[in-house]
Each structure stands twice: as structure tokens, then as C-alpha cells.
Amino acid sequence: MGRKIKPLMVPWDFTQVAEYALEHAVKIARIDGNPVYLAHIAKKKEEIGKLKGVLEVYAVEAFKKYSIKPKVMVKHGTIFTGIGEAADEIEAEMVVMGTHGMKGMQKLTGSWALKVIVHSKVPFVVVQSPPEDNKFEHIVLPIDFRKEDKEKVNWIVYLYEHFNSKIHIIKPEKSDRKLLKGVNMNIAFTRKILDQKHVKYDMIVAPGKKSFAKETMEYAVKINAELIVIMTTKNIGLADYVMGADEQYIIANSAKIPVMCINPRPGLTTGGFAAMGG
């Protein structure tokens, strides 16, 4: 393919879910031989040296477990901007991040993860548990009316080429003519690209009895999906992340299905692919 092999970055906060994220990163890295980085954001500058030494110990342990030795980096700052800055610095392909989807705190935790994700130009794969196998055999792709939704298709092709995945498109039941037009345009665009690349896919319409996010999750559970690919809301910043409520629900899903979150960046190159904002 002639594409530059870029690193995978795992934000490392010394928790069990960070270890799960490393397991997922190793699974992805084994396909192309991507370098893996463990990145920690230090609250105090004077702690950087000590933390780097601690991370090196984890990297040695990881090599014993996975036969892949991660590189380590420690940056001073806040996690909300520091993780995205670290990913930019190493030109990461994607960030694989562990998050806690605690019952009763789902929204809070989803919004915490979302704040980190929207400060990055590269996709995040957010995980809550270890990988069950080395495949992403079934991937759910919800498609709505936003023109930024088109950018997801590049990553769907990437995943198909790497994992020979079957893509399951789910679209909302829309009665509003304007919104329906947007959905149908995105579906037509997606099908055109997937057909050109010979990607296997099927499509269903959500029943429309619950929120699109809930019906997307129910469908993902029903087909035993290993990944859900979503677009994060552009220019998030309103009180309580108003448009991001569905994304928070999916990111912290109780089924613990990994979620790939793609940030809309029209006109920029995202993870090795030209963004295709409409």
C-alpha cells in the first residue's frame, strides 16, 4: 500500500483499563508492525523523570507478555489537552484508551472520555475490557444526517483491509424530510466507497422506538459486534455536551464493546487518510 506505518498510542494511568488498552493496541499493531507508545501526562514537571522510569518498567513487562516493547513518553500538562498533543507529537495513527464505564456514572465517564477525544486530530479506540480475540469480525457503523459522517468511511476501509471485517450499517428512522435527505446522502456516499473497495456490508433501519444511540447499542449486542465506529460532534463545548449525549452513552456502553471515535476535521489529513467532509 506504500502507506507510512504510524505509532499507536496508549494513555497510561497505571490502571487495569490502561492494561486492557495496551492489549488492544498490541492486537492492532501485530497487523502492520506499528510501534506502540505508552504516554503519561504528569501533573507536575518535577515528576517527569521518576514517572518515565516507572513507565520503562511497565514497557519491559509488556515485552515479556506480548513480545512487543512499547516506547514511553511523559509530558507535563492536563489529560484533556495533553493526550491529544502527545498523539500529534508522535504522529500517531490512533490512540487506544481505556475508560471506566461504571454503572450509574456512565454519563459522567463518557463525558470525561469525550473531553479527551475532542482535543485530538486522530481517532480514539476506547475500551473497557480486554480483547476477546484477534479479530474485529463484526463492526457496527451508525450513519446519521451530519455531513461529517462521511469521514468515517475511510476508517471503515482501513479496518476492513486489516481485519477482513463485515460492516453492519445502521441508519435512523427519520420522518423529518430534511434530516432524511442528509441520512440518504451519507448512505449513498458510504455505499459507493464500500462498493468500490469491495467491502462486505449489510444495512438495517433502526426501529425508531428508542433513541438512535440505544438502538445502535442493542443491535451491536445482538450481533456480537467487536467494534462500533462513531463520529464525535464537531465543536463540542455547549453546556453538558448537548449534542454529545449519544456519544457519551455509546462510549461508556454497559456491554463494554470497544468504540472507535473519529473527530471531524474537514480539509485535514486524519490518520493517513484525507478527510472527506461534505
- Does residue 106 form part of some domain? no
Same-domain pairing of 148 and 42: no
Rounded to whole angstroms, the Cα distance separating 216 from 221 reads 9
Nearest Cα to Cα of residue 123 among 93, 101, 90, 99: 93
- Does residue 119 form part of some domain? no
* Tens digits of pLDDT across the chain (278 residues): 456 899 999 999 999 999 999 999 999 999 889 999 999 999 999 999 999 999 999 999 999 999 999 999 999 999 888 999 999 999 999 999 998 764 444 444 556 777 788 878 899 999 999 998 878 999 999 998 776 666 788 899 999 998 999 999 999 987 778 788 888 898 999 999 999 999 999 999 999 999 999 999 999 999 999 999 998 865 555 444 444 568 888 988 999 999 999 887 644 333 333 222 32
For 140-173, b/e burial (b = at least 16 CB within 10 A) is bbbbbbbbbbbbbbbbbbbbbeebebbbbbbbbe
Phi-psi region for residue 12, left (φ > 0), alpha (ψ -120 to 50) or beta?
beta
Same-domain pairing of 268 and 204: yes
Please state the separation of Cα 13 from the chain's center in Å: 18
Nearest Cα to Cα of residue 84 among 32, 129, 122, 49: 122
pLDDT for 71-80, tens place per residue?
Answer: 999 999 998 8
Rounded to whole angstroms, the Cα distance separating 219 from 231 reads 18
Same-domain pairing of 246 and 150: yes
Q: Given 79, 98, 117, which residue is the final one in a domain?
A: 98
Same-domain pairing of 87 and 155: no
Rounded to whole angstroms, the Cα distance separating 85 from 77 reads 10
Residue 230 sits in a domain whose CATH number is 3.40.50.620
Same-domain pairing of 143 and 258: yes
- Does residue 112 form part of some domain? no
Rounded to whole angstroms, the Cα distance separating 169 from 133 reads 22
Number of compact structural domains in the chain: 2
Which stretches of 28-165 are assigned E, i.e. beta strand?
36-42, 71-76, 94-98, 124-127, 138-142
Same-domain pairing of 269 and 145: yes
Same-domain pairing of 143 and 268: yes
pLDDT for 220-250, tens place per residue?
Answer: 999 999 999 998 865 555 444 444 568 888 9
For residue 147, the enclosing domain spans 138-274
Q: What is the per-residue pLDDT for 84?
A: 92
Are the C-beta atoms of 7 and 90 separated by less than 8 Å? yes
- What pairs with residue 11 in β-bridges? 39
Same-domain pairing of 203 and 144: yes
Same-domain pairing of 142 and 94: no
29's grid cell = 499493531
Are the C-beta atoms of 273 and 150 separated by less than 8 Å? no
Q: Given 35, 69, 98, which residue is the final one in a domain?
A: 98
- Does residue 216 form part of some domain? yes
Nearest Cα to Cα of residue 186 among 230, 141, 234, 149: 149
For 235-256, b/e burial (b = at least 16 CB within 10 A) is ebeeeebeebbbbbbbbbbeee
177: Cβ contacts below 8 Å, ≥ 6 apart: none
